[in-house]
Chains A and B, each alone.
Chain A
Amino acid sequence: MTRRNNEQWIIDLRAGGDAQSAALSDLRTALMAGLPYALSRWLSPGDPLFEPLIEETAQDALLKVLDNLNSFEGRSQFTTWAYKIAVNLALSKLRRRQWQDVSLDELVGEDAEMINPGLDADPTAGPAQLAEQRDLLARVNRIIQEELTEKQRTALMARLVYGMPAERISEEMRMERNALYKLLHDARENLKRRLEREGLTAQDVLAAF
């Protein structure tokens, strides 16, 4: 593989002919070598989908890189920029495929608390900090129970606790995306007002964690 600086990558990829073919081949090699490190957290390398996903993603990423060369501003290594595009494509595919059969009902139980009170938030915290964190978590859970509607709680839990994509939440809740954003916005306002009434700010809670 030829070593190139950012400028050389751009020149070669725009060149056409043999120089472009060689640059595309080198970039494909780099993507194929880098992507397994990115994806192994989500998909076991032994999974039959692993290799096909990497090959398909590398191919799609090459096309996207070529289409977007003008937007590369040189604030990072060119290969980092290309990896970023490939990671976005790969995780978008994985998210679509892997959330498609998950229902909100099985994900979020009726009486589930948003922040698991049985787990220490920060296992490295000292006893005094742990006590403060437990107290804050209990207060935050109580505020969530008292201030949010069931719909607001369900949407927030799916998004913030499980990372369910907003488009899947809106499908599951049979809501337009804008209606979901309004629901989350209202939930945020309710929580903010109640925290203020209790003399707490988001910054106070963040500082404890």
Chain B
Amino acid sequence: MDTQEPTPPFSHDHSHFLPQPDPPKKVVRRLMRLVDWNEHDYSCDAAFDLLDEYTEMAARGEDVSRLLPLLKRHLELCPSCEDEYEALLSILKNHQD
């Protein structure tokens, strides 16, 4: 088991801050989602509206690519929205109200 702590991609020390590239699989999927973009695809605002519902479905292990496919497409394209999804998912998986 890999016990090494993951390195946060950001540090508050600006003099040394340089973000790391995302993994190739993620980058190539983003690029192809961009190439494949069409007028039915969600904007960031539309994605944000559904993000809480989508993340609860994902946390319950439901098939989000079938239930909310356009949101999944958007998250594969947009790094900022994907970050917000992962952050929200992390709360739902680790914290009980």
Is the pairing of A and B real?
A: yes
Residues of A bordering B, CB below 8 Å: 3, 30, 33-35, 37-44, 47-49, 75-77, 79-81, 83-84, 87-88, 90-91, 94-95, 97-98, 100-102, 106-107, 114-116, 119-122, 136-137, 140, 156, 159-165, 184, 188, 191-192, 195, 201-203, 205-206, 209
Q: Is the CB of B88 within 8 A of A80?
A: yes
A33's partner among B15, B55, B95 (CB-CB below 8 A) is B95
CA distance A90 to B15 in the complex (A): 22
- CB–CB B88/A202 < 8 A: no
> Can you name 27 A-B residue pairings with CB atoms under 8 Å?
A34-B91, A34-B95, A37-B93, A41-B86, A41-B90, A42-B83, A44-B11, A47-B11, A49-B12, A76-B56, A83-B91, A95-B80, A98-B11, A98-B17, A115-B24, A116-B21, A122-B25, A137-B24, A160-B30, A160-B34, A162-B21, A164-B19, A188-B34, A191-B35, A202-B32, A202-B36, A205-B32
Size bracket of the B interface: 35 or more
Q: Are A121 and B23 in contact (CB under 8 A)?
A: yes
B1-32 Cβ-contact flags toward A at 8 Å (1 or 0)? 00000101111101101111111110111111
Taking CB atoms and an 8 Å cut-off, the chain B residues in 31-84 that contact chain A are 31-37, 48, 50-53, 55-56, 79-80, 83-84
How far, in angstroms, from A178 to B88 measured CA to CA in the complex? 30
For the complex of A and B, list the 6 residue pairs with the smallest distance between their C-beta atoms, beginning with the closest.
Answer: A163-B79, A202-B36, A38-B87, A76-B52, A202-B32, A34-B91
How many A-B residue pairs have C-beta atoms within 8 angstroms? Tell me.
161
A122-B25, A137-B28, A160-B34 as given contacts; A42 in contact with B9, CB under 8 Å: yes
Q: Are A101 and B12 in contact (CB under 8 A)?
A: no
Q: Write the nearest CB–CB distance from B16 to chain A, whole angstroms.
A: 10
Task: Give complex CA distance A116, B23 in Å.
Answer: 8
A80 with B31: in contact, given A41-B8, A91-B83, A203-B36 (CB under 8 Å)? no
B50 to chain A, nearest CB (A): 8
Q: How far is the CB of B74 from chain A (nearest CB, A)?
A: 14
Contact of A114 among B27, B53, B55, B97 (CB under 8 A): B27
